[in-house]
Amino acid sequence: MAAIDQEPVIAEDGVQEVPLTIARPMLTRLIEQAREEGVVSALTVRGRRRIYLVTPEEYDKVLAARRSPDDAPKS
**pLDDT tens digits in sequence order for the chain, 75 residues long:** 444 557 899 999 999 999 999 999 999 999 999 999 999 999 999 999 999 999 999 999 999 999 866 665 666
The span from the CA of 66 to the CA of 53, in Å, is 18
CA distance 70 to 48: 34
Q: Where are the domains of the chain?
A: 7-68
Which fold does the domain 7-68 belong to in CATH? Answer: YefM-like fold (3.40.1620)
Is this model's pTM higher than 0.85 or not? no
Q: Kindly give the pairing relationship between strand 9-10 and strand 16-19.
A: antiparallel
Give the distance, in angstroms, between the CA of residue 36 and the centroid of all CA atoms in the same chain.
Answer: 14
Residues 13, 1 contacting (CB under 8 angstroms):
no
Would you state the pLDDT for residue 75? 60
